[in-house]
């Protein structure tokens, strides 16, 4: 390959605070346009901002989680530019003195673990939203104006589109584990700009870069970077030069297009915001934030393997999302069977969530009820087949598994006499298969088991069915 791809990402993470960064307005997504606004986020004359303490604490938590240096003194600055959805004419951000310095994220894009270095993490407020799809006019919704963001800026350490996607997914997982953001790319809670350039293989000099915006999924991040890399290569191979600019990703056409010339820091005329005091982080806050850090995915997966004895694969799947891991642990407490709990959560639970487009918090079967369902299987009260029927009924009923089993008459039949009677009926109804079995075609045992289970509507104890069948067939 003649060229090496160089990628750095700038990620904006919207924090899950109840109120905005510099006023008391709700930061809730999806409210009617311009309903979450006040004199501060509307930039009315005389309105003064006050920093939301939770924003600082969330920034410190993320910095600690990513091994960043935490600045004891940082400054909020004005980033000056003019746009219809920016009523103040500037955005409150940080420039020369960010709250978090260098850190790193370890990723695995399928070729082993790699460290991606971070330049900085800083606090920023969001701008409003311009709406262009209502008739011929443009409308402005300022609900998002002032919503708190953290901007995470990486070094240009990524070398493939897959690494960029893996980095973004790992970052989302970390902010979700910390509980500081839902990381929802579709709703804009996690937004990513990619800086892409090419350089000759072996060179240490960076090529001219372009910035790509408007990527709202991990797959689109990969596709946009891949397209832009090919575009750069075609220009360079034809003897042209790359123009430094900002480009927009068009997912429908699968291409990037020019948006504007790339701005530089001096274009924004940054200066400290005179209305806001410096941000001070003392040791007491650092210690408290450290004590509140959760057990992260790798450590939790390792503990699941050692404590519960489940396979590493299961542990990896269960710890991708913190809420799924919590659900599994609560289920195990009740069921007492980690492997069975793992199978049910990874199987029926996650299948249902995917089919019904649900988050685990929206799932109607609580861990306690699932744990008790698993206990009914272990005790022989119901079979796995019946358990799946009960599981489906539990999704629309508040009753416990035991109550549903009793109400629907689904308890497993282990009465040897009742099973012997059904077995004899099946044998009498299938004389050819009986003769073939006794002539040596022992694989027909499965046929007889299936017939018995069907006749008893899946409620027969499979172990007793097998024992009775073998005794009768051999006789």
pLDDT tens digits along 416-475:
776 777 778 888 888 888 777 887 788 887 888 788 878 877 777 777 777 777 777 776
Contacts of 427 (CB under 8 A, 6+ apart): 434, 448, 472, 473
Q: Is the pLDDT of residue 272 over 90?
A: yes
Question: What fold characterizes domain 416-474?
Answer: Arc Repressor Mutant, subunit A (1.10.10)
| Cα distance between the two ends of the chain | 73
Give the domain ranges of the chain.
3-285, 295-408, 416-474
**Which of these, 295, 290, 148, 206, lies nearest to 5 by C-alpha position?**
206
Q: What is the pTM of this model?
A: 0.83
% of the chain surpassing 90 pLDDT: 70
Write the pLDDT tens digit of every residue in 7-34. Answer: 999 999 999 999 999 999 999 988 999 9
């Amino acid at each position: 390959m003649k060229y090496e791809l160089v990628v750095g990402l700038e990620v904006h993470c919207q924090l899950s605070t109840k109120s905005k960064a510099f006023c008391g307005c709700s930061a809730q997504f999806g409210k009617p346009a311009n309903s979450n606004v006040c004199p501060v986020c509307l930039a009315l004359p005389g309105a003064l901002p006050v920093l939301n303490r939770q924003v600082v604490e969330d920034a410190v938590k993320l910095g600690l989680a990513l091994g960043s240096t935490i600045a004891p003194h940082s400054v909020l600055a004005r980033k000056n530019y003019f746009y219809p959805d920016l009523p103040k004419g500037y955005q409150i951000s940080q420039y020369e003195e960010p709250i978090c310095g260098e850190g790193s994220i370890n990723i695995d894009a399928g070729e082993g673990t790699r460290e991606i270095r971070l330049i900085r993490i800083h606090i920023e407020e969001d701008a409003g939203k311009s709406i262009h799809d209502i008739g011929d006019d443009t409308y402005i919704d300022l609900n998002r104006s002032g919503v708190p963001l953290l901007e995470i800026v990486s070094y240009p350490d990524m070398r493939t589109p897959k690494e960029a996607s893996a980095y973004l997914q790992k970052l989302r997982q970390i902010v979700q584990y910390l509980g500081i953001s839902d990381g929802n790319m579709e709703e804009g809670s996690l937004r990513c700009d990619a800086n892409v350039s090419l350089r000759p293989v072996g060179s240490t000099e960076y090529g001219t870069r372009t910035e790509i915006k408007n990527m709202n999924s991990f797959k689109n991040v990969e596709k946009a970077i891949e397209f832009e890399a090919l575009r750069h290569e075609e220009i360079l191979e034809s003897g042209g030069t790359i123009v430094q600019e900002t480009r927009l990703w068009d997912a429908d056409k699968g291409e990037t297009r020019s948006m504007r010339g790339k701005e530089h820091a001096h274009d924004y005329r940054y200066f400290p915001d005179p209305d806001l005091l410096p941000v001070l982080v003392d040791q007491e806050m650092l210690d408290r934030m450290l004590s509140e850090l959760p057990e992260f995915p790798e450590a939790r997966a390792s503990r699941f393997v050692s404590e519960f004895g489940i396979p590493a694969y299961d542990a990896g799947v269960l710890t991708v999302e913190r809420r799924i891991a919590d659900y599994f642990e609560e289920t195990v407490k009740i069921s007492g069977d980690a492997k069975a709990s793992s199978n049910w959560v990874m199987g029926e639970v996650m299948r249902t969530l995917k089919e019904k487009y649900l988050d685990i918090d929206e799932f109607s079967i609580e861990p306690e009820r699932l744990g008790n369902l698993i206990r009914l299987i272990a005790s022989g009260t119901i079979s796995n087949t019946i358990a799946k029927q009960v599981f489906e009924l539990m999704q629309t009923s508040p009753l416990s598994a035991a109550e549903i089993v009793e109400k629907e008459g689904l308890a497993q039949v282990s009465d040897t006499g009742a099973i012997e009677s059904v077995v004899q009926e099946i044998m009498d109804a299938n004389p050819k298969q009986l003769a073939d079995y006794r002539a040596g075609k022992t694989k027909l045992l499965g046929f007889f088991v299936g017939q018995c289970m069907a006749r008893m509507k899946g409620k027969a104890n499979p172990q007793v069915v097998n024992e009775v069948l073998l005794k009768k067939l051999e006789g």
